[in-house]
Amino acid sequence: MNVVVCVKRVPMTQEVDLEIDASKKDVSKDMLAYVLNEWDNYAVEEAIQIVEKFGGAVTAVTVGSEDDEEVLRRCLAMGAEKAIRVDPGDLSLDGFVISKILAEVIKGLEYDLVLTGVQADDDNYGIVGSMLAEHLGIARAAVVNHVDIEGDEANIKVELEGGVDEVLKIRFPALLSIQTGINEPRYVSIMGIRKAAKKELQVLPVTDLGLSEDDLSARTVVEEVFLPPETEGAEIIEGDAATVAEEILRIMKEKGVSV
Amino acid sequence: MGTIFVIAEHRQGELRDITFEMLFKANTLCKDLSHKLTAVVLGGDEALADEIKKWADTILLFEHERLKNFDGDLYKEVISGLIEEYEPFITLMGHTSWGMDFAPALAIKTGYPLATDCVDIQVEDGRPSVIRQIYSGKIFTKVSFRESKSYLITVRPGSFTPEEIGEQEGEIIKKELPSDLPEPSKEFIGFEEAGAGELDITQADLLVSIGRGVGEAENIEVVRELADLMGGVLSCSRPIVDKNWLPKYHQVGTSGKSVKPKVYLAFGISGAFQHVAGISGAGTVIAVNKDPKAPIFRVADYGVVDDLFNVVDALKEKLK
Ligand SMILES: Cc1cc2nc3c(=O)[nH]c(=O)nc-3n(C[C@H](O)[C@H](O)[C@H](O)COP(=O)(O)OP(=O)(O)OC[C@H]3O[C@@H](n4cnc5c(N)ncnc54)[C@H](O)[C@@H]3O)c2cc1C
């Protein structure tokens, strides 16, 4: 069972006062710390658990710059056998272009399953997995929170809105976009990452893939980014913790919750 | 005169809210652009189509055994055929689990550009653009499309509030599925209730809710004590359940429970749309978060910018 898993490195933006950069098309990222996208972390763990059980190998793929190799090394430390980074140069990337590039790379690999995360934590499109499946011409399922493999098919659960799962059987080859909580991603130590440095990390310039200009031209364009419009929002309760606590209890009482 | 498509989403015989939200937005767009609104109902029956009559000029209804359950491959095939036939200016679909499955595949099959998870849609000089939220809702962005004959958009649930519109009587047109349908690539087994449990957070008057800001599993007890002291019920955001720190039946949000307490106390929850969609029925929301820019403050009634543990400790102190 060979599994390809597609990953992305994303900035951590919680608790950060984000600023719009000079181009007005993104936030300034100089001060941000980066991680493996949360959804992808679960996808990598799922891929590794599958090959631990059924044999085969995991290949991790990303489209990104040299800095993004950090997340590939993490995948290698988690147990992937090989990693591939496609260097897009200064192409402007959207979900379409990324899926096109990934498809071209994955076509040349042997695989039964392709896993992606449901979405990336930065731009939240949730678009690459399903586009990639269509380029590859394989079966797909989105928002998968359970995978149970039997031979060349799997029983899976697709998470729907309202706390309902849809139980399906899917035949391989297939692409699944993986939802958080499907497993418990393993801990990766600095030592583990160092050890994995010996594993193969292949770098491919996008120009080597033979994709046409049209294949590499984005379908959507970010015109501008901006701070959320000032709405009324919450009334901020000021003061020291004791004052705040008193005020919260007063509001609760006013709203009919007596404590 | 052009047309705007809305792909209806329904499950087990019921239209989902997102369908009406899209119909409402499409209606305003159609008025501005003098376009016709065409709703597409794959599966379901005439009774279901009747429910959207007043929103649409035309309803294309496909009744077929194979459409009894959602099938993303069939959606892709049938809708791409309809787009060729009717050449809609825009096709709206839900940014839901099912929409995430078929919409991007449809974009590849038709070759038309797609923007997903949009919270607003504008049309200027005959070209649509969309508003989206990025970085967990801390930043907004305006996205345009490469010029095209037809545009595809998925809409974030809860972005539009359907209001009464003038009565109209849409015409229901029954359509046949094409004969050369692809073999199904998936087999539907059934639906399963996720996260049933002994506790029902939807019945609580007071929910004391924790998010990833709680930091460590051990810290949950600190907040649980507060919930007990207040006579409230403990609930949480998704990452707490993903980490197995609390059972699924504590989870609030689109993939958890929709709750309606008199007071919802949110500690260390950023306010992702999938979370806040679950608290729209709450009477009063009080959010405590270290980050003054956390999106939860845009939906809360009251906010406290502080470390949640300072506030939790102070509340306990007052209650003892
Ligand atoms: C298909 C799908 C379905 C989903 N369904 C749901 C759902 O049903 N429910 C749900 O909740 N999510 C759901 N999500 C996930 C959602 O997108 C967010 O990832 C999630 O809600 C984030 O949870 P959080 O706010 O607890 O964590 P984070 O976004 O990490 O936020 C943590 C917050 O805590 C604050 N903080 C940190 N430390 C402290 C401290 N000491 N004191 C005070 N504040 C602190 C930070 O400033 C931050 O704002 C879903 C996602 C997808 C893709």
Task: Give residue-wise pLDDT tens across range B2-16.
Answer: 999 999 999 999 999
Mapped onto helix, strand or coil, the DSSP state of residue A138 is coil
Homologous superfamily in CATH for domain B201-319: TPP-binding domain (3.40.50.1220)
Question: Is residue A256 included in any domain, yes or no?
Answer: no
- List pLDDT tens digits, range A17-40: 999 999 999 999 989 999 999 999
Per-residue pLDDT tens for A126-152? 999 999 999 999 999 999 999 999 999
Selection from A182, A172, A133, A168 nearest residue A151 by Cα: A172
In a domain, A75, yes or no: yes
Quote the mean pLDDT of chain B. 96
B182 pLDDT more than 90: no
Rounded mean pLDDT of A159-167? 96
- How many Cβ atoms sit within 10 Å of the Cβ of residue A222? 19
What's the pTM value of the predicted model, to 2 decimals? 0.97
Cα-based distances in Å from B82 to B130, B177, B183, B189: 23, 11, 20, 29
Chain B residues closer than 8 Å to A15 by CB: 290-291
CATH architecture, range B3-174: 3-Layer(aba) Sandwich (3.40)
Q: In chain B, which residue's Cα lies nearest the Cα of A15? A: B291
The pLDDT of residue A102 is above 90: yes
The arithmetic mean of pLDDT across residues B260-275, rounded, is: 98
pLDDT of residue A94: 98
Nearest one of A134, A154, A137 to A146, comparing CA atoms: A154
- Which of A13, A157, A244 is facing B135, going by the closest CB pair? A13
With vertex at residue B187, the alpha carbon angle to CA B74 and CA B154, rounded to the nearest 5 degrees, is 40
| Closest Cβ opposite residue B262 in set A16, A164, A257 | A257
- Confidence at B119, pLDDT banded by 50, 70, 90: very high
**Best residue among B100, B218, B255, B285 to mutate for probing ligand 1, ranked by most atoms within 8 Å of CB:** B255
pLDDT of B226-241, one tens digit each?
A: 999 999 999 999 999 9
User: Which residue from A minimizes the CA distance to B69?
Assistant: A166
Using the beta-carbon criterion (under 8 Å), do A158 and B132 form an inter-chain contact?
no
Residue B101 has pLDDT above 90, yes or no: yes
Q: How far apart are CA B250 and CA B238, in angstroms?
A: 9
pLDDT higher than threshold 80 for residue A232: no
Across chain A, what does the average pLDDT equal? 96
Rounded Cα gap, residues B15 and B3, in angstroms: 22
Residues of chain A with pLDDT > 70: what percent? 100
Q: Which protein residues are within 6 Å of ligand 1, measured from CB?
A: A 14-15, 118-119, 143; B 136, 211-213, 237-239, 251-256, 268-270, 272, 274-275, 288-291, 294, 307-308
- pLDDT the model gives residue A259: 82
Residue A47: the pLDDT is 98
- Ligand 1 centroid vs B212 CA: distance in angstroms? 6
Query: How many distinct structural domains can be found in chain A?
Result: 1
Strand order in the sheet with A235-236: A235-236, B302-305, B284-289, B263-267, B206-210, B233-236
Residue B197's pLDDT band (cuts 50, 70, 90): confident
Instruction: Check pLDDT > 90 for residue A165.
Output: yes
A126 within 8 A of B117, measured Cβ to Cβ:
yes
CA–centroid distance for B223 within its chain: 29
State the CATH number of the domain containing residue A97.
3.40.50.620
pLDDT at B320 > cutoff 90: no
DSSP assigned state of B163 = -
Cis peptide before A173 (omega within 30 of 0): yes
Quote the pLDDT of residue B1.
77
Contact B246, B224 (CB under 8 A): no
Q: Is the pLDDT of residue B99 over 80?
A: yes
- Calculate helix-pair angle for A128-136, A95-107, nearest 10 degrees: 40
Whether residue B298 has pLDDT greater than 80: yes
Instruction: Please check whether residue A252 lies inside any domain of the structure.
Output: no
Sign of CA dihedral B40, B45, B46, B48: negative
How many Å lie between the centroid of ligand 1 and the Cα of residue A38?
Answer: 12
CB-closest option in B140, B257, B297 to A233: B297
**Are residues B141 and A225, on separate chains, in Cβ contact within 8 Å?**
yes
Tell me what the mean pLDDT of segment B106-134 comes to. 97
Could you tell me the residue ranges of all domains in chain B? 3-174, 201-319
Q: At what angle do helices A241-254 and B308-319 cross, to 10 degrees?
A: 70
3-state secondary structure of B102: helix
